[in-house]
Structure 1
Amino acid sequence: MITNARSHKRNQVSQAEIIAAVGRFHSDYKIKRVTAALDEIDDYTTDIWFVDGDLHVPGDLDLAQERVHLLVVLGDLVVDGAYGDSDYPESFVLVTGNMRARDIVTAGWLEVHGDLSTDRLIGDGNDCSASIGGDVHARLFCGENHHFTMGGALIANAVIGEPSLEIAIPPTVIDLDDPRMLDHFDRDLLEVYGDEDDSGNEITCVEGFDDFSELKRRVSAGLPLRTRARIES
C-alpha cells in the first residue's frame, strides 16, 4: 500500500470523491465503465487508491500485483522503478499532472494529462489503451498492438514496429522486419534467420519478435534488451 494513497476498501475515500475525480477522464467510455463498477466495487478483490497531490513511489508500481482497479493521482506520478498495469484484471489510471518512471509496460487504461517520461515504453495487448495529453519522452518506444493517443510529440531514440498511434506528427519507425532491430534487441528475442541476396551473399533477416513476454520481463526487471554486440552476417 502506498503511504499517501487513500484506500476505498479502508473507507478512506468517499464514493462522491471518486466519482468527481473519474469525471476528469477525457473518455466517456472510461467514465461510464469506472462509474458503473463503483456499485459493485465492494464485491471486488481489487481496491481504489486516491492520491490528493503528487505521488512518489521509491520502487516499482505494479497495479495487478497491488490489486488496484483504479488509481487516481491528482498531481504528478513518479515511479523510481518499473510501472506496470493490467488488462486482466482491468486497471484504470488517471494522472492529472506529469508521469515519470524508469520503465513502463502498459496493458490497461492509462491516462496522463501532462507529459510522460521514461526509458522504455512498452505497449501490451489491444484490449485497452493509453492517452497522454502532452509530450512523450522515451529512449525506446514499442507500442506493439496497444493503442496510444498523444497530444504532443513522441520524442524517442527508437520507435519499433508500426504502432497503433494517434499523434499529430507520426514518428520515423523501425519496421519489425528491419535488420536494425538487431541494434536494439538480442537475437533470442527476435525471429532471425539467414538468407541470400540477389548476388548470393549471405544476409541476416528479421521477422519481428520471437519472445515478447521475455522482452516485457526484462523491461520490468530493469534489464537490458541488447546484451551482446551485433554480429553482422
Structure 2
Amino acid sequence: MQTTLQGRSYQRGEITLEELAALTAGFNYASALLHEDLLGNDYDAVVVDGDLHLPSLTLGEPLAFLVVTGNLVIDGACVDCDEPATGLYVLGNLQAGSVWTGGMLGVQGDLTVARTLAGFYNDYAAIVKGTTRAAVFFPENHYFQFEGAPTFDVVLGNAAPYRVPKQWAAQVTETLKGRALLDRAVGLESEDLPALSAEQIETFGATELLDAHALYTRVQADSSVLSD
C-alpha cells in the first residue's frame, strides 16, 4: 500500500474536501466518496500535482482517495477496492501493467493496460473519457463508462456488453469460449468443470469455466491471465 506518496494530504490538513470535490467535479459520483464519515481518522485522500510514476499502486487502507493532476504510470498492477470505498482519479492519462477495480476509477485522458483490465462487483464504476486499450477485458459485473472507443484483444465474460454504454456493446462481445478458452487460461479452471458435459464446455464462456478468484489473483499480481 502506498503511504509515502509526495502529495497534499487531507489527514495532514493540506487539502480540503471542497478542493478534492472541485478537482474531481468532472466525474459523476466522485463527491459521494468525499465526506468525513468515509475518510474519518482511518483513511486519507491525497493529491499529487503533476505526473506520477510508481512500480505498483494499491488503494484501501490508509490511502482511500488519490487524485493525480497529470499522467499516472504504473509499471505493475493498479488495484483498488470497494470496502473501504476507494477513488482513483487521473486528470491526464493512466498507463498500467494490469488494472483491478472494484471502487471508483476516473481517467480524464486515455487508459492503456498492457495485460488485463478487470472489474469487480457493481457498487461503483470506472469512467474513462479518452480511449481505452487493454490486451484482456474482464468486466465481471462492474460498470465501465467509455466515452472514447475501447480496443481489446480478448473480452472475457458473457455479460460484457451490458457493462458498457450501448454504443460500445458490439465491441465487447465475448471473444473466447469452450476449449479455446481453457487452452489459453491454463490453471484458471473452475472447480465445477468436471461436472460439465463436453457440449456445455464448448458453449460456456469465462463466467462458467474459469475460477474468478484465481483470475483476480493473477491480475492483482500483474500476471497474464491468458497464454499467447
The normalised TM-score by structure 1 is: 0.81
Question: In the alignment, residue 88 of structure 1 is paired with which amino acid?
Answer: E
| 1:56 alignment partner in structure 2 | 53
Q: Is the 8 A contact 1:150 1:167 kept in 2?
A: no
| 1:120 alignment partner in structure 2 | 116
Partner residue of 2:6 out of 4, 7, 23? 4
Distance 1:168-1:13 versus aligned 2 partners, 3 A rule: same
Unaligned runs of 5+ in 1: 198-202
Higher relative contact order (CA 8 A, sep 6+): 2
Alignment coverage as a number of residue pairs: 217
The CA deviation at 1:81 is 1.1
| 1:109 alignment partner in structure 2 | 104
Alpha-carbon distance in structure 1 between the residues aligned to 2:9 and 2:209? 39
Offset from partner CA, 1:1-50 (integer Å, 9 cap, x none): 2432222112232444323213232x1x332x134x1x446633010011
RMSD across aligned positions (CA): 2.6
Q: Is the 8 A contact 1:148 1:165 kept in 2?
A: yes
Task: Name the larger-Rg structure.
Answer: 1
The CA deviation at 1:116 is 0.3
Question: In the alignment, residue 60 of structure 1 is paired with which amino acid?
Answer: S
| 2:44 alignment partner in structure 1 | 47
More displaced stretch, 12-21 vs 105-114: 12-21
More displaced stretch, 214-223 vs 99-108: 214-223
Question: In the alignment, residue 75 of structure 1 is paired with which amino acid?
Answer: G
Unaligned runs of 5+ in 2: none
Question: In the alignment, residue 157 of structure 1 is paired with which amino acid?
Answer: D
Distance 1:21-1:188 versus aligned 2 partners, 3 A rule: closer
State, as a whole percentage, how many aligned pairs show the same letter. Answer: 30
Alpha-carbon distance in structure 2 between the residues aligned to 1:131 and 1:56? 21
Q: Is the 8 A contact 1:151 1:168 kept in 2?
A: no
The normalised TM-score by structure 2 is: 0.83
The CA deviation at 1:188 is 4.0
| 1:192 alignment partner in structure 2 | 193
| 2:128 alignment partner in structure 1 | 132
Q: Is the 8 A contact 2:59 2:79 kept in 1?
A: yes
Q: Is the 8 A contact 1:176 1:206 kept in 2?
A: no
The CA deviation at 1:213 is 1.1
